[in-house]
């Protein structure tokens, strides 16, 4: 069974540029999460989706970050404009309803210059 | 102060050693406790999952939770070079859906 797929794996952009990350969760997983992991730290939740609905986005910086999950499957996370402090690894995870296990993708490593 | 604290390491041990990894936390509402392993440039993968206090064993791995002390541990017996990774503890409140609070991770190096 394929795991969580993320692309791109690496992205280098200049500050003030836009950037988008894409995530394809494990088939059948209705819950999808976006996390940000800064160097030497644990992941921090940005947003959680139950199917198409964002049920927890309290940690998403809404002035520059946006996310969508059309049709309750794939999801995109966008930053516009990017700032130097956005350099981090952006992880996507998915889980089945009622299952405590979250399966993580490999992440997108973002460097903002 | 962070809700979940973890010594960042690195922790270096010889192959075959018993490894002890620990986390402390401040929120007594946490009920579910997990350990994730993260290899370099990979996403975290779930190793152990426990509910409330007690021990849980899975092969060479044992997870312990002491809620009275707000302290959790992961023990690795007969450590192998392939165990070299960053170990993240994570926990959640029973009422918080699947929102996990992670520690900062401890980097473990097992030397042959």
pLDDT tens per residue across span A2-34: 899 999 999 999 999 999 999 999 999 999 999
User: Distance from B95 to chain A by nearest Cα, in Å?
Assistant: 13
Longest dimension (CA), chain B: 44
Q: Angle at the Cα of A87 (from A84 to A91), degrees rounded to 5?
A: 150
Asked if A4 has any chain B CB less than 8 Å from its own CB, the reply is yes
**Which tens digit of pLDDT belongs to each residue from B5-56?**
998 889 999 999 999 999 999 999 999 999 999 999 999 999 999 988 889 9
CB A100, CB A13: distance < 8 Å: no
Q: Which residue of A23, A24, A43, A45 to mutate against B (max B Cβ within 10 Å)?
A: A43
Q: Give the model's pLDDT for residue A111.
A: 97
Query: Distance (Å, rounded) from C-alpha A45 to C-alpha A37?
Result: 9
Q: Does A25 touch chain B (CB under 8 A)?
A: no
Percent of chain A with pLDDT over 90: 80
């Amino acid at each position: 069974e394929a795991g969580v797929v993320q692309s791109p794996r690496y992205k280098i952009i200049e500050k003030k540029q836009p950037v988008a990350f894409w995530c394809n969760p494990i088939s059948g997983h209705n819950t999808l999460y976006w996390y940000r992991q800064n160097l030497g730290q644990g992941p921090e939740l940005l947003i959680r989706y139950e199917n198409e609905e964002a049920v927890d986005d309290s940690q998403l910086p809404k002035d520059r970050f946006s996310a969508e999950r059309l049709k309750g499957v794939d999801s995109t996370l966008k930053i516009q404009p990017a700032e130097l402090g956005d350099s981090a690894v952006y992880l996507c995870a998915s889980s089945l309803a009622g299952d405590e296990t979250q399966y993580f993708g490999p992440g997108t490593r973002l460097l903002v210059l | 102060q962070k809700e979940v604290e973890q010594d960042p390491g690195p922790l270096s041990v010889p192959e075959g050693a018993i490894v002890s990894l620990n986390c402390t936390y401040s929120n007594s509402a946490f009920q579910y406790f997990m350990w994730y392993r993260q290899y370099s440039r990979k996403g975290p993968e779930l190793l152990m999952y426990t509910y409330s206090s007690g021990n849980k064993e899975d092969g060479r791995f044992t997870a312990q939770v002491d809620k009275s002390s707000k302290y959790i541990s992961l023990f690795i017996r007969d450590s192998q070079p392939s165990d070299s990774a960053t170990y993240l503890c994570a926990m959640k409140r029973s009422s918080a859906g699947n929102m996990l609070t992670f520690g900062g991770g401890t980097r473990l190096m097992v030397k042959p």
